[in-house]
Structure 1
Amino acid sequence: MMFRVRRFSRLSWKRIFLFGSAFVLFWIFVFSLTPITSPLPAYTGPHQVGVLDVEVEGQKRLIHDAVLKETGDKAFELSTLAVTLYYPAALPPPSSSRRQPEARPWLPQPLSLIGTGYARLVHVYFPPFQKVFTFALWLLGSKTTIPGQVDAPILSGAAKLLIDESGDVDGLEKILKYAEKESLGDVQQMELRGEEDADEVGLFPFVVFTHGMAGMSQSYSHYLGSIASHGYVVAAVEHRDGSGPGTIVHYPEGGEKKVWHMELGDLDSSPPLNELDLKAIQLAFREAEIQETIRLFKLLNAGHGDLMRNLKPDSPRTALPSFKNRLNMSAVTVAGHSYGATGAMQALKNAPRDTMPINGGIALDPGKESGPLNADIDIPLLVMQSGQWTEKQTQFYDQGWHFDVVRRIVGGVKEGWFMTLAGSAHPSCTDAPLIVPWIMRLATGTTLDAKVALKEYIDVSVAFLEYLREGEKAGVLGGGVTSEKGPLGDKEERGKVEGRFGAEWEVHVVP
């Protein structure tokens, strides 16, 4: 006992202060050499990017009659649609009389909603502990902004022409000089022309993106914003199917409802649901949200943007009328990651049709526990897997190894590509490795630089989208199979091809 007291007495306040100061200084030194967070990089394309959060009233429908045990509310009732838009924009020159566009914070508001949502996702319900999750989010992402301008006007036909001719950043200077010289008058006139002149103004294809389990609409902002910077309008759906950490439905008549992450035990249903039932319902809910997104764009293209009420608090809507006659409604591509990739492939069933005029699909790491994958696909499909997703194989719903199932599906598509980005990890297409690079390297063991991985994903995705427009296969898409069996074959048969930014791709299936 005396020995213990002596040992304890040696820990004087002076010693505690000295050791504590050394500990703090050590970690300040570590973080100064390896910053805990990094800003999001500029987009890869030639165009500036506008960003806008939109929530609009949808066609109300009940996907399933299950209710939440916690509140008694219907769990799968679709009433509003929430999306984050990324679109090519030409920013006017600064002016004291013109409202300057704002940057969009990367983390959605209120931050406490997302922090609480992630805490609930890992079954932490004690409020003080939930605040720790909110603090961690604030620490890691509060200063990060998406490098796009909120509610910026969509790129005009004249600006698109100038920047396409230049092909580099000098084109932006030409746009600004043109806009300043003409006081934007000619550009506004072009945007007000009728549909008969739409080809002259320029039509933008668009992409509907569906996020993965526990993801959010802005979790892929660099990937999606870069696609937009190449001349595409992108809508990232904020899913209300219970797969995200948390979201708020704002009703047109007033009031709101919080939607948290849902698990089987959170639901009451007659007859009771099993895991496959829940996934099928969530995928059906996502498909309905994709249909609502396409319907939204049809309304915008028809010139009804000025009539739309944006239900998202503190989010503007002045850019919406400029979408009139600017969208190519016959060129809709659906893309997704993980659970979202399963949902994107599900949406391709029997496409194209009137409610789903889809011309192609992009699937990043199709889910391994998201339910069986749809194989009824008659339109072009690009499947890109991370090295981590391809190497770690699992049996897939009694259909064989996951890799083999995906390869058979893509091989059965008339125009299908299936490839793996070597050295990448499952989150490599998200913003997380860009914002907290060293944490993600430790967590995933990836050997490929995060910026390089995203550039490769973006480059191949844009090449696929350009193929849908022009019919020309560029880059990795233009080559042949280098590794048919991937991890299921012999090592010496696993050939690779170098991507545009120096990373290596294994190509498993080509048309």
Structure 2
Amino acid sequence: MDIEIPVASPRTFSHIKRHGQHLLQLKTVLVAVYYPSAFGSGVGKDPGGYVKWSRETWLPRPRLKTAQGYGLFSGLAQWLAVLWFLVSTWFTKIPAFRNADLATHWPVLQDSKTSGWKIKNQPGSPPEGQSEEPVFPLIIFSHGMGGSRTAYSSLCGEFASYGFVVVALEHRDGTGPRTLINHPTEGFASAEHEKNTNDPGVKARFETVDYIFPKDNPMDTSPGNPQGIDGELRTAQLGLRLAEIDEAYQLINVINRGDGLDIAQRNLRKAGGVGASSRGLEGVNWSGWKGRVNVKQVTMVGHSFGAAATVEVLRQKEDFHWVKQAIIYDIWGAPLKPASNLEQHINVPLLAVNSEAFTYWEENFKTVTSLCEETSECGAPSWLMTVRGTVHISHSDFCILYPHVASIFLKMVLKPERAIDLNINASLEFLARVIAKPAPFHRSLRNGQILEQQPLEKLPTKLKPDEERMARRLKLEHEMRGRVNPKLRRRLKKVGGIHSDDNEVWMHFVPADEVLERWETRVAEAEDTNGSFGRQVSD
């Protein structure tokens, strides 16, 4: 579902202006909701009565404007960016149907590899003591620089396939290549619209927010940048992100309360709205959502700058008391400020997953290590791991859609689909340890116990790039051998049981035994109460 609704209290963040306009404004919140769908999705007419089920395009609509935004973001000529998307992913669609009914079945215990794919079209039996309809755990996802609500559809879709409802934000803080804000009928015209219209008195239907380059310091995200980051801008952007995260949570609360029709009526992503499907939210069975999402134990997930926002959420416990665990992929730690007091220290379970390219960035690696240490000192388990052969975009759809770019220019060695698999497997293993059972994803969880591995004593530096390319790419001296060996080693290990020190994952930090034991005891006690995943209706 694609949802954009006006916020209750529109406001600005910081005094920063460009062309006389506040740069950072909160007017609406835009999310894509990924969720497990009911049997029959994709067959016959869709819930809105249309003969053909529809799917969202990966490149957000209007695609021309979005492609031009990517041109500005990347420094390419806008026409060249449009041409690139036109010949590559202009018509690519996300493999998920719009507005399908929410699943009402528990997954079977068998998996498709051993029992065949048809097993997935059969309902499983509810666990003992549980309701006939599962209640799905909630994830809120925050994207990184250059991202959008669709740029991580592979991750979000995988989580949804394991029984999560995932609310993926599209931030309006100037970190995406381009996002369009719809105005309600009473909205005021943007400066950009008034400048380009013959009638300045005409109210604009929407306004455009492009990527904001810090003034006089456009490369503040680069490692080793002598000017450092634009602290004022990044702090204000984090403030806006946290407000959007809270708005997204309140939105899903309204739906979970049984008032989804109110959301549908306020939705701006419908016929007549910019970037909207003509179907909007037609056909959504809102009654089927009542009490079906666990809104009391939310997992916060973020990539890069979104991971920094995730840490800020964990620091502000009073405002985000409903976040009970977090996953951070390739955190960009530079915008983070140290906790001002002990009350701000992270005290919920944390999983940090790095790409190999980001692990070599020493200053950033120290930041993420300190976060894990801080969490452990507060009595919550934390893990830090690296997926080998990966780069920063390996956590997103970009490596899936543009594998040759990732391979040739960024020297990514690991197969993109395998990188996503390892991210998901580690994340599910983490959640299985820290969330009380039973949860729907436990029923279909199959992985290789990634988090059981022991931490490295010393970080290998075989693929460490030169300083000027730090965090951007890997270094392959013998490129052909570097690309063939990982795949060959996996096959030998699978077929012949050959052990190799060259694992796909490096562990750097694991919780002490006593920390993990105490937490697992807490999880077991919560499970015994049988309330953690009971039918939840928000207040």
Common fold, TM-score beyond 0.5? yes
2:170 paired residue among 238, 263, 282: 238
Task: Report the equivalent of 1:382.
Answer: 351
Task: Report the equivalent of 2:8.
Answer: 59
Question: d(CA) in 2 for partners of 1:461 and 1:103?
Answer: 27
Task: Report the equivalent of 1:297.
Answer: 252
Which stretch of structure 1 is more off in the superposition, 311-320 or 287-296?
311-320
Task: Report the equivalent of 1:105.
Answer: 57
Question: d(CA) in 2 for partners of 1:284 and 1:463?
Answer: 31
The 8 Å contact of residues 210 and 237 in structure 1, kept in 2 or not, is answered as yes
Task: Report the equivalent of 1:510.
Answer: 510
Q: Residues 420-435 of structure 1: matches in 2 within 5 Å?
A: 420-435=386-401
The 8 Å contact of residues 294 and 356 in structure 1, kept in 2 or not, is answered as no
The 8 Å contact of residues 299 and 326 in structure 2, kept in 1 or not, is answered as yes
Q: How many equivalent pairs are there? A: 414
Question: d(CA) in 2 for partners of 1:498 and 1:507?
Answer: 18
1:311 paired residue among 268, 271, 275: 268
Task: Report the equivalent of 2:426.
Answer: 460
The 8 Å contact of residues 299 and 325 in structure 2, kept in 1 or not, is answered as yes
Residues 1:223 and 2:175 are matched in the alignment: no
Task: Report the equivalent of 2:108.
Answer: 164
Instruction: Rate the CA distance shift 1:87–1:220 in 2: closer, same or farther, 3 A.
Output: same
Structure 2 counterpart SS, 1:441: helix
Instruction: Rate the CA distance shift 1:437–1:297 in 2: closer, same or farther, 3 A.
Output: same
1:410 paired residue among 358, 372, 396: 372
Question: d(CA) in 2 for partners of 1:486 and 1:230?
Answer: 33
Structure 1 counterpart SS, 2:29: strand
Q: Deviation digits for residues 364-410 of structure 1, max 9, x if unmatched?
A: 1110544447672110000000111112x24xxxxxx3222321220
Question: d(CA) in 1 for partners of 2:145 and 2:319?
Answer: 29
- Kindly report the root-mean-square deviation, in angstroms, between the aligned alpha carbons of the 2 structures: 3.3
Q: Which runs of 4+ in 1 moved over 6 A?
A: 471-474, 496-502
Q: Residues 88-487 of structure 1: matches in 2 within 5 Å?
A: 88-92=36-40, 94-95=43-44, 98-99=49-50, 100-122=52-74, 129-156=77-104, 160-161=105-106, 163-168=107-112, 169-174=117-122, 199-253=131-185, 255-265=205-215, 275-308=230-263, 309-312=266-269, 313-314=276-277, 315-317=279-281, 318-319=283-284, 321=286, 322-351=288-317, 353=318, 355-372=320-337, 376-391=345-360, 393-394=361-362, 401-413=363-375, 414-470=380-436, 475-476=448-449, 478-486=451-459
Question: d(CA) in 1 for partners of 2:337 and 2:450?
Answer: 27
Q: Deviation digits for residues 445-492 of structure 1, max 9, x if unmatched?
A: 111111111111111112222223237997445415321553599x9x
Unaligned runs of 5+ in 2: 188-204, 218-228, 270-275, 465-485, 495-501, 512-539
Question: d(CA) in 2 for partners of 1:122 and 1:423?
Answer: 24
The 8 Å contact of residues 45 and 53 in structure 2, kept in 1 or not, is answered as no
Q: Deviation digits for residues 68-119 of structure 1, max 9, x if unmatched?
A: 423x332222111101111000242733695342122111111122222122
> Partner amino acid for 1:411?
E
Shift of 1:330: 1.4
Instruction: Rate the CA distance shift 1:297–1:485 in 2: closer, same or farther, 3 A.
Output: farther
Which stretch of structure 1 is more off in the superposition, 217-226 or 91-100?
91-100
Instruction: Rate the CA distance shift 1:319–1:368 in 2: closer, same or farther, 3 A.
Output: same
Task: Report the equivalent of 2:530.
Answer: none
Question: d(CA) in 1 for partners of 2:168 and 2:57?
Answer: 16
Instruction: Rate the CA distance shift 1:419–1:355 in 2: closer, same or farther, 3 A.
Output: closer
> Partner amino acid for 2:166?
V
Task: Report the equivalent of 2:18.
Answer: 69
Instruction: Rate the CA distance shift 1:365–1:199 in 2: closer, same or farther, 3 A.
Output: same
> Partner amino acid for 2:230?
E
Instruction: Rate the CA distance shift 1:354–1:439 in 2: closer, same or farther, 3 A.
Output: closer
The 8 Å contact of residues 276 and 371 in structure 1, kept in 2 or not, is answered as no
Higher helix proportion, which one? 1
Question: d(CA) in 2 for partners of 1:320 and 1:386?
Answer: 40
Q: Deviation digits for residues 134-177 of structure 1, max 9, x if unmatched?
A: 12112211131111111111111xxx22x33444332343359x
The 8 Å contact of residues 39 and 121 in structure 2, kept in 1 or not, is answered as no
Q: Tell which structure's C-alpha radius of gyration is larger.
A: 1
> Partner amino acid for 2:236?
I
Structure 1 counterpart SS, 2:8: strand
Shift of 1:331: 1.8
The 8 Å contact of residues 180 and 206 in structure 2, kept in 1 or not, is answered as yes
TM-score, normalised to structure 1's length?
Answer: 0.74
Task: Report the equivalent of 1:44.
Answer: none
Question: d(CA) in 2 for partners of 1:465 and 1:333?
Answer: 9
Q: Deviation digits for residues 164-210 of structure 1, max 9, x if unmatched?
A: 3444332343359x9xxxxxxxxxxxxxxxxxx99442211111111
TM-score, normalised to structure 2's length?
Answer: 0.70
Structure 2 counterpart SS, 1:57: strand
Structure 1 counterpart SS, 2:390: coil
Unaligned runs of 5+ in 1: 1-51, 179-196, 268-273, 395-400
Instruction: Rate the CA distance shift 1:302–1:428 in 2: closer, same or farther, 3 A.
Output: same
The 8 Å contact of residues 106 and 145 in structure 1, kept in 2 or not, is answered as yes
Question: d(CA) in 2 for partners of 1:164 and 1:101?
Answer: 26
Instruction: Rate the CA distance shift 1:444–1:232 in 2: closer, same or farther, 3 A.
Output: same
Task: Report the equivalent of 2:470.
Answer: none
> Partner amino acid for 1:107?
L
Structure 2 counterpart SS, 1:300: helix
Question: d(CA) in 1 for partners of 2:18 and 2:122?
Answer: 59
> Partner amino acid for 2:349?
P
Structure 2 counterpart SS, 1:348: helix
